[in-house]
Structures are given as C-alpha cells and as structure tokens.
C-alpha cells in the first residue's frame, strides 16, 4: 500500500471494523485492556493505512465517547494521531416500543430503529487529523422512511408491513446518514457524506430489509438533488458500508449501479490482490461461501471535481504477512482514496 504521492493530497478511508460487542461498555473494556486480538488487529490495519480521515462502522457508541477516545489514544500510542473524533447516536438499538419486524413480539433487536441489542451497538465514528466543523454537521438519522421522496415501503396482502403504526415510526437510517464538513488547512472545507445501511437479507417475503437497504443508498441522490435543502456540489466524498454489490448477491443491485453511474461522483472501482486471489478483485467483504460469498459492500466515492491520485482496498495477497492481521480484524476491508485539488 503506497502513501499519498503529494504533500497536499488527502487520504480518506472507510472501514467497517466489526468491533460491535454484545453489551454496553464491553468495547471500552476490550480497548483499554490491551489484550483483545481483534482490537489489536483493527489498530494495526489503521496504522498501515495511514488515512488522514477514516470513517468507522461497527463501532459501539457511548454517550461520553469513552470508547472512541480510548481507541484514538491506542492509535496514538502506535504513532497514528487523530486529534479530532466525531460520533453521533446511531439508530441501532434505539427502542421503538413497537413490533417492527412483524414477528408478533416486542423488544427484540429487530424492533429497534436499527438492528441492535442495546442502544448504540455497532454505530459509526470519524477519526480525523483535521477539525470537524461541528456547527455545520447535518444528521439525517431521524428522517422517517416514509418521508423520503419516492420511498418504497414493504407491503403484505394485509397492507403496510408490518403495520401502518410501525411504518409511521420507522426511520430510514439503520445506523445513520451524516453530512460532515471538515476543514483542511490550505485546501479548505470538504464534506463527508456517510452511512451504514442494513444488509438486504435476514428477511421475510415482504423484503423489508431489501427495500430499506436500497432506499438508504438512494437517499444520497435525493439529497444531492436538493430535496433536503442545499447540498454540496464539489469537494465531497460519499463513503461507507452500503451492504450492496452492484453485480452480485442479494439486494436491489440496480440501485447501486445507478449511484455508481451518477455523473456527480467518481467510482474508481478499487481492487486488491487479496480479493483477486479469492475471485473478484473489486470485492471488499470476505463473507462465507457460497452464501453470501465475497461482495463489494464498502465504497469511497469522491465528487467528480477531485483529482484522484490513487485508490485501493486493503486486502493483501494471502502470502503477505499482513494478510492474517487483516482477516483477524474484520470480514470487511478498509477502502481508501487519495485526493488532491
């Protein structure tokens, strides 16, 4: 993995760490304990990547940011300093008091706004060398699914699925949709558009998860069209875990193809030696075969005005000494892009 070629370039990355734990406080325990193999592996991957800004998924949220602070401190001890950390409460694990999955029971992890056994499980976070313009952040995580223009909500023979009451309360975001400006010295303000969508599986015939996954991705084109007020027209990067491959696997693949073909974005279609050795060089997730199999699930899509120096997926060839560490860290691989003006 090469370092950015120019002094005024910017490396931006997205990485589903899969560090979600089974209960609140456990991730903080594992980070500060210094003996967790997965935490150590994720730290090693990030140190190897040397991103200027990285968006994390699968990272448990807590109100005081204790886990994220401890994680940044652990990276700092390894020479990678991120003085700016950012996270908002995700929809994962947020109680609704309703039967949101139609199983006739209340209080299960699928009855939360986004799947989770506790509030904040598997949230998102940003680590940055540069300051986040917090006063300008826009959080669309509270947007109701039904309020997305053109929303396709699930139905059964009996009507809205699982119920009209549930659909009236259901947020679009499984985890979150954030618009996060970051101020870069000598470059100006850039904007991250980031999210983590539900997997389009674990579903009933009504395809609730598949429909929601597609609309979570489609949100960004609706947003860029101006449906929710002014949107950036340049200097932005859309990135995160879409859980949607444009060509393979479950889900409404045409939605991802439409996003990747949007002229406002650049799809560098990054590849890796590890993915190529496993089958498809553009895959970013190493899932069980044959189902779902390896897929392209994670994306870093710069706006069309950037000059792109390079991009890639941190998935080494199986013979590389780093390969075992990468596999221990997460089934997802870090995706990065190097940009300049």
Instruction: Read off the pLDDT of residues 184-195 as tens digits, 9 standing for 90 and up.
Output: 999 999 999 999
- The reply to whether omega before 292 is within 30° of 0 (cis) is yes
What's the pLDDT score for residue 290? Answer: 79
Which residues, 6+ apart, have CB-to-CB distance to 283 below 8 Å? Answer: 245, 275, 294, 295, 296, 313, 315
What's the pLDDT score for residue 2? Answer: 58
Three-state DSSP class for residue 45? helix
Domain that holds residue 128: 10-340
What's the pLDDT score for residue 5? Answer: 47
Q: How far is CA 317 from CA 199, 278, 321, in A?
A: 27, 9, 9
In a domain, 149, yes or no: yes
How many whole angstroms separate alpha carbon 307 and alpha carbon 321? 32
- CB atoms near residue 312 (< 10 Å): 21
How many whole angstroms separate alpha carbon 117 and alpha carbon 129? 32
In a domain, 135, yes or no: yes
- The reply to whether omega before 126 is within 30° of 0 (cis) is no
Mean per-residue pLDDT over the chain, rounded: 96
What's the pLDDT score for residue 3? Answer: 60
Q: Cα–Cα–Cα angle for 58, 301, 286, nearest 5°?
A: 45
Within 65-148, where are the H helices?
66-77
Three-state DSSP class for residue 240? strand
Q: How far is CA 262 from CA 4, 226, 296, in A?
A: 26, 15, 18
In a domain, 173, yes or no: yes
What's the pLDDT score for residue 1? Answer: 65
Place of tokens 């991103």: 51
| Residue 6 binned pLDDT confidence (cut-offs 50, 70, 90) | low
Q: Which residues pair with 180 in a beta bridge?
A: 192
Q: What share of the chain is helix, strand, coil (3-state, %, to 5)?
A: 25, 25, 50
| Residue 39 binned pLDDT confidence (cut-offs 50, 70, 90) | very high
How many whole angstroms separate alpha carbon 334 and alpha carbon 323? 13
In a domain, 4, yes or no: no
What's the pLDDT score for residue 191? Answer: 98
- Global pTM reads 0.97
- Find the mean pLDDT for residues 158-184: 97
What's the pLDDT score for residue 7? Answer: 57
In a domain, 120, yes or no: yes
Number of domains in the chain: 1
| Extended strands (E) in the chain | 10-16, 53-59, 84-86, 123-128, 138-139, 155-156, 159-160, 177-184, 188-196, 236-241, 298-302, 307-313, 335-340
Instruction: Read off the pLDDT of residues 49-100 as tens digits, 9 standing for 90 and up.
Output: 999 999 999 999 999 999 999 999 999 999 999 999 999 999 999 999 999 9
Residue 92 · residue 62 · CB < 8 Å = no
| Residue 157 binned pLDDT confidence (cut-offs 50, 70, 90) | very high
- Find the mean pLDDT for residues 197-210: 92
What CATH number has the domain bearing residue 146?
3.60.10.10
Instruction: Read off the pLDDT of residues 92-142 as tens digits, 9 standing for 90 and up.
Output: 999 999 999 999 999 999 999 999 999 999 999 999 999 999 999 999 999
In a domain, 66, yes or no: yes
In a domain, 40, yes or no: yes
What's the pLDDT score for residue 292? Answer: 86
In a domain, 3, yes or no: no
How many whole angstroms separate alpha carbon 96 and alpha carbon 114? 10
């Amino acid at each position: 993995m090469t370092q950015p070629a120019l002094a005024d370039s910017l490396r931006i990355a997205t990485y589903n760490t899969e560090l979600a734990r089974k209960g609140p406080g456990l991730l903080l325990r594992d980070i500060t304990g210094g003996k967790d193999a997965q935490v150590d592996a994720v730290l090693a991957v990030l140190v190897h990547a040397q991103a200027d800004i990285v968006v994390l998924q699968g990272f448990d949220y807590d109100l005081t940011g204790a886990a994220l602070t401890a994680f940044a401190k652990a990276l700092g001890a390894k020479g990678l300093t991120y003085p700016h950390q950012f996270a908002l409460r995700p929809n994962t694990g947020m109680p609704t008091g309703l039967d949101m999955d139609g199983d006739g029971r209340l209080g299960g992890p699928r009855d939360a706004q986004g799947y989770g056994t506790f509030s904040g499980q598997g949230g998102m976070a940003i680590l940055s060398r540069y300051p986040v313009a917090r006063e300008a952040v826009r959080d669309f995580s509270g947007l109701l699914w039904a309020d997305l223009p053109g929303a396709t909500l699930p139905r059964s023979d009996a009507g809205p699925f699982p119920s009209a009451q549930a659909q009236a309360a259901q947020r679009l975001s499984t985890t979150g949709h954030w618009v996060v400006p970051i101020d870069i010295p000598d470059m100006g303000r850039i904007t991250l558009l980031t999210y983590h969508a539900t997997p389009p599986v674990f579903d009933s015939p009504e395809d609730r998860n598949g429909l929601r996954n597609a609309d979570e991705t489609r949100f960004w084109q609706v947003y860029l069209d101006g449906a929710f007020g002014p949107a950036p027209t340049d200097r932005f990067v859309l990135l995160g875990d879409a859980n949607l491959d444009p060509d393979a696997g479950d889900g409404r693949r045409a939605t991802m193809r439409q996003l990747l073909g949007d002229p406002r974005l650049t799809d560098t279609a990054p590849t890796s030696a590890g993915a190529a050795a496993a089958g498809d060089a553009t895959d970013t997730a190493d899932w069980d075969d044959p189902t779902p199999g390896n897929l392209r699930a994670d994306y870093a899509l710069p706006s069309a005005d950037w000059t792109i120096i390079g991009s890639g997926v941190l998935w080494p060839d199986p013979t590389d000494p780093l390969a075992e560490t990468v596999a221990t860290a997460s089934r997802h691989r870090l995706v990065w892009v190097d940009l300049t003006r």
